[in-house]
Chains A and B, each alone.
Chain A
Amino acid sequence: MLGKLLRNELKATGRLFLILYALLALMTGFYKVSRLLPTRFVVTQSIMVAVSTALYVVIVVGVVAMSFVIMVQRFYKNLLGDEGYLMHTLPVTAGQHILAKLMVSLLWNVLSFALVLLSVALLAANPADWGRQWAYIVSLIEPLAQEAGFNYATLLLYAAIWLFVVAVDKTLLCYASLSLGQWKASKNKLGAAIGFAALLYMLEQVVPLLILRVVEYARPGWIIQAQAPAQGIVRFMFWWSVCASAVCAAVYACVSNRALKKHLNLA
């Protein structure tokens, strides 16, 4: 059943994203062409560059913003709005609904991120020049990586892991907030969901820090000594952040599951 939910979710959201990606490709081409105009058309070129830059920025922001908007809108409308009357009477579990929405949302987020990066790379350099540009980027990352005790490839891998876990965490935070909003509020459910999102986000920032403070209070100097030298601290903070996000994600998943399974409140 999860496969069927995934297929339905992809069909429901795919059209919008494909249009956005087509627009991104179009604007990338337009921007590139506007830069290649012969210099004798100075005024025309200036206008085209200004217009293409503005449109390009709008579409890039649009792709990123839509990934978020569609994630929230799909969960709210499809599971907590009128469409929920159909979705929650399907022979599937609440957990499968949440997992399908999460997986498709992550897929579009990763794809949007990759396509925006590709678009920027295409605009920033001539493809023939990519090797030289990459070497330049590596020379910028290398000192940072060395400070943390990694090579640049390991640093990029760590960054990718961190981004992925944070994306899962924040997506599930949105789902948990929306689920709590429909559970606890009888009227302004969206308003309640925004309130829960703010509360959960604040707790997510404060609780891990409090735990570190408690550990530091109970065992003064333990964290610093155990992780010395300085490279150990960087790794410790990385894994601490990843684990904290993963624990929060698991809590949000459980909260969303319980709210949809035991406290569904479709008006």
Chain B
Amino acid sequence: MAATLECKGLTKRFGRKLALGTAGPDGKAVGIDLTVEAGRIVGLLGPNGSGKTTLIKLATGLITPTAGEIRIGGYAPGVQSKRLISYLPERTYLSDWMRVRDLIAFFRDFYEDFNEHKALDMLERLRINPQDKIKPLSKGTKEKVQLIVVMSREAKLYLLDEPIGGVDPAAREFILSTILSNYNEDATILISTHLIADVERVLDEVIFISEGGILRTAQVDALREAEGKSVDALFREVFKC
């Protein structure tokens, strides 16, 4: 069975800047190799500018690799892979003209795996009226609406880019519980963040990424045992400025 996410020699340049991959001894870019299996909650951890968002955008097909390949469930980024991925970007992508109910209808239209009942239920629990217009909603509420539609899909791979980056601690709690309670055991969740302490308890595996290269991949429990410290403490040590 194909891995949920697989990268081979993957590099991405923006102009001269190597955003993903590392410079080899001969000056040529060395791409990253990475395999993420199904049924895991994986933390993609690294400081700002380390290549987390670039890797996620490559998986979604929003940008194309400079070299190497990336496959999702065995598919190169395209229509088939997009059916498998539920993506939460770090920014708000909602259209101003929509009401919340329009967004629900939009997801129902385009994704066969969208569970409308689940979405409406979560909206009700958060006291968000589906009739509300999206434009005047606060940033935090927009982020919650976005998370609700993303997590209401029964996708194979959830790519969550900084899902708790810009929200208050109470909202973080909601987001993490939403992720956990909507998590299908056959699915994989890749969470990119630098707020390790908040997400550590939900993670099965971690990928440390720095300056475009993969520093380390490990099971969280094994890592804690081997290092004798939390992932958060280890992160602070590894990425100390």
Contacts and interface: CB of A to CB of B under 8 A. Distances in A.
A91 B82 contact: yes
Nearest to B103: A86
Contact of B97 (A15, A186, A262): A15
Interface string B96-133: 01000010001001110000000000000000000000
B61 interface: yes
Nearest to A86: B93
A85 B149 CA distance: 14
B109 A12 contact: no
A11 interface: yes
B103 to A, nearest CB: 9
A213 interface: no
A266 B57 contact: yes
If over half of A's interface residues share one DSSP class (helix, strand or loop), that class is named, otherwise mixed; here it is: loop
Contact of A85 (B62, B85, B111): B62
A266 B62 contact: yes
Interface string B3-15: 0000000000011
A264 B97 contact: no
Contacts of B170: none
A92 interface: yes
Interface string A158-198: 00000000000000000000000000001000000000000
B109 A4 contact: yes
B95 A91 contact: no
B23 to A, nearest CB: 21
Nearest to B159: A89
A92 B93 contact: no
- Categorize the interface residue count of chain B: 20 to 34
Interface in B26-60: 57, 60
Contacts of A92: 79, 110
Interface string B153-181: 00000000000000000000000000000
A148 to B, nearest CB: 46
A83 B110 contact: no
A90 interface: yes
B182 interface: no
A1 B110 contact: yes
Contacts of A204: none
Given A15-B97, A83-B93, A186-B14, A91 B61 contact: no
Contacts of B62: 84-85, 88-89, 264, 266
B110 A82 contact: no
A265 interface: yes
Contact of B82 (A4, A78, A89): A89
Interface string B181-219: 000000000000000000000000000000000000000
Nearest to A265: B63
Contacts of A265: 63
Contacts of B93: 82-86
Contacts of A93: 79
A83 B102 CA distance: 15
Listed from nearest, the 4 A-B pairs whose CB atoms lie closest are A85-B93, A86-B93, A91-B82, A85-B89
Interface of A: 1, 4, 7-8, 11-12, 15, 78, 82-86, 88-93, 186, 262-266
5 contacts: A1-B110, A4-B110, A8-B109, A82-B93, A83-B95
Given A7-B109, A84-B93, 8 more contacts: A8-B109, A12-B97, A89-B60, A93-B79, A264-B61, A264-B62, A265-B63, A266-B63
